[in-house]
Structure 1
Amino acid sequence: MMQEVRWGDFNIVGAERRLLANALLDFSNQRFVLLSESCIPLFNFSTIYNYLINSTKTFVESYDLPGPVGRGRYSPRMRPLVRLSQWRKGSQWFQIDRPLATEIVSDQLYFPLFNKHCRNGCYGDEHYLPTFVSIKFSQRNSDRTLTWVDWSQGGPHPARFMRRNVTIEFLERLRNGTTCHYNGNTTNICYLFARKFMPQALDRLLRFAPKIMHFD
């Protein structure tokens, strides 16, 4: 049965759980990545696969954000299960392992609470997983996402990239332009994916991929 999913509605989280539940049916699946149609890979398949499968951490962005779009979305009715000091925000674009995916799908404690109280401008897809993972699995999580997004323009949606924005220099900066920690070491590969790339960018992406991403 088809179920409607709307941006900003908590039913997005329900859809993510259904996706994970279906993916978990294949016991060979050990890592789970949520992407959208506007996401692109920044490296070839083998690089992405090895980065994910060898990681000792999961990648769910989770941070404490004061102000109206962070702590301001918290409802006191979530106490005592979720306190304000435990409330977290983060990107919905996660990269997780099988144990965490199983915990998310089987959660019957936090999910109903968020479903009831994280509505009307709460944007549950930005708070449920970051808060749930921070409370229960913080030691196994990196608190960062592997999907690069540009929020510098402000507003409720990130920057969109068209054909003219796609250059070799731009893609190389996304691939190697920052530093972070991976398995206890410093690395300059902090993002494996990026968004939001529009369909008009596809021809340039396909043209540059063989050279900089080593696609065949």
Structure 2
Amino acid sequence: MRFVAFVCDKGMKGALDDFKVMLTRNQPFTGLAKAVAFLVIFALGVVAGLWVAAGAHQSSDSIVRPTIMQLMPSAAMYQPSGGSGGGGGGDCCRPDTKPVFAEFVAPTRLMHDMTDEELFWRATLVPAAAGYPFERVPKVAFMFLAGHGVLPLAPLWERFFRGHEDHFSVYVHAPPAVAINVSEDSPFHGRQIPSQETSWGSVTLMDAEKRLLANALLDFSNERFVLLSESCIPVHNFTTVYDYLVGSEHSFLEVYYRNTKQCRNRYSRRMAPDITLRQWRKGSQWFELTRDIATSILTDTRYYPLFRRHCRPSCYPDEHYVQTYVGMRHGARNSNRTVTHVDWSTGGSHPMAYGAREATPELVRSIRTSREPCTRNSQPTTTCYLFARKFSPDALAPLLNMSAAVMQY
């Protein structure tokens, strides 16, 4: 095209030159002939100008377009659907769809380089608009605090989760640089979050709990948040657990006060006036929270620093911080009980552990149906516990043998 324009342009210039030569010769010309000659020259000039302008416009387009395409984001680029030849038929082009929005509302890649401060800020962003621009199915976030970096009861949990993939998400806090050993088709695969070292009885355990909550809050479909340990088991099937939690009007966090050394004596007067002894609370570490209460905990910059400074190892922050905070700020929306059964009847700093010999159908049935009823949505019920601990690794085999008949999964 450029070559044709060049040739035409040269031809018109040649014609103009010929007319100029004719006019400058010393030959007699009539007035009419001169007028015709000038009109022809003028017309040729106009045509030449239009032709050159059109050629320049086409040339400009061919240069600018690639530059614009290079500046466009890759998600807006279109590529042939029928391979490199472009002969796919029907829709010849399709968008290079990268799931940017899907990854934003429900992250599948949990490892990131955010600091805790950055993570907590990001996790507490709450949409101002009512409703969601996607089909939101409420999910339960199962958050495992695996202090030793192992999940010995994972096969039981995998059986519990099977077939309900759209209604749950899993998060695991293990020691740094420790990879959970599970198969690629396990719901635990790729579900470890960035972690830090923890030590029993210190505020680092509470930091780990907040880290689990924050990562789980990044998924906008997570509605309920359950904290579990590697020694916990589900004593009911998934449908029962899901309906129980999603349909509940309250969170399930044990909160109480007792005039004992395990409760009252752990309080530090240096927390006053922000936290007084009358506001001090204790309870089980293993909680279940609604989304808004979980968000509220991460936004707390008033009370948590007091626990970091004054609730030292003998205080056990994981048994007091969430309990005191929720009691002060969200007491009316909490059931004041836990849904994780633990047997403290033996006394001491640790609950009773269930091994292969103790893990019997009779034990699990007694946990599934409580002798003393509790309330759910202000109605009495004998289904008070959904989970139980503390089960040893050697209890896995008998638990798997009874899961279908007793736990119904």
TM, length-normalised to structure 1: 0.98
- What is the RMSD computed on CA atoms of the aligned residues? 0.9
2:406 equivalent to 1:212: yes
2:356 equivalent to 1:163: yes
- Letter of the structure 2 residue corresponding to residue 101 of structure 1: A
Partner of 1:175: 368
Deviation per residue, 1:79-119 (Å, 9 max, x gap): 00111011100011000110011001111111111111101
- Letter of the structure 2 residue corresponding to residue 192 of structure 1: L
Partner of 1:114: 307
User: Aligned to 2:380, what secondary structure does the other structure show?
Assistant: strand
User: Aligned to 1:197, what secondary structure does the other structure show?
Assistant: coil
* Matches of 1:123 and 1:145, distance apart in 2: 18
2:308 equivalent to 1:150: no
Partner of 2:239: 46
- Letter of the structure 1 residue corresponding to residue 221 of structure 2: S
2:284 equivalent to 1:86: no
Stretches of 4+ aligned residues off by more than 2 angstroms: none
* Matches of 2:216 and 2:354, distance apart in 1: 30
Partner of 1:21: 214
Partner of 2:196: 3
Percent of pairs with identical residues: 52
Quick one: which of 189, 198, 204 aligns to 2:392? 198
* Matches of 2:406 and 2:298, distance apart in 1: 37
- Give the deviation of 1:120 after TM superposition: 3.5
Superposition pairs of residues 91-106 of structure 1, within 5 angstroms: 91-106=284-299
2:268 equivalent to 1:71: no
- Give the deviation of 1:125 after TM superposition: 0.3
TM, length-normalised to structure 2: 0.52
* Matches of 1:133 and 1:125, distance apart in 2: 13
- Letter of the structure 2 residue corresponding to residue 57 of structure 1: H
Superposition pairs of residues 135-146 of structure 1, within 5 angstroms: 135-146=328-339
- Letter of the structure 1 residue corresponding to residue 408 of structure 2: H
- Letter of the structure 2 residue corresponding to residue 170 of structure 1: L
* Matches of 1:95 and 1:123, distance apart in 2: 19
- Letter of the structure 2 residue corresponding to residue 152 of structure 1: S
User: Aligned to 2:278, what secondary structure does the other structure show?
Assistant: helix
User: Aligned to 1:32, what secondary structure does the other structure show?
Assistant: strand
Aligned residues: 215
Partner of 2:229: 36
* Matches of 1:71 and 1:24, distance apart in 2: 33
Over 3 Å counting, the alpha-carbon distance change for 1:120 and 1:130 in structure 2 is: same
* Matches of 1:105 and 1:193, distance apart in 2: 25
* Matches of 2:195 and 2:343, distance apart in 1: 32
- Letter of the structure 1 residue corresponding to residue 340 of structure 2: T
- Give the deviation of 1:2 after TM superposition: 4.5
Deviation per residue, 1:48-102 (Å, 9 max, x gap): 0000000000011100011111010000000001110111000110001100110
CA contact (8 A) 2:195 2:208 kept: no
- Give the deviation of 1:213 after TM superposition: 1.4
- Letter of the structure 2 residue corresponding to residue 204 of structure 1: P
Deviation per residue, 1:27-68 (Å, 9 max, x gap): 010000000000000100110000000000001110001111
- Letter of the structure 1 residue corresponding to residue 391 of structure 2: F
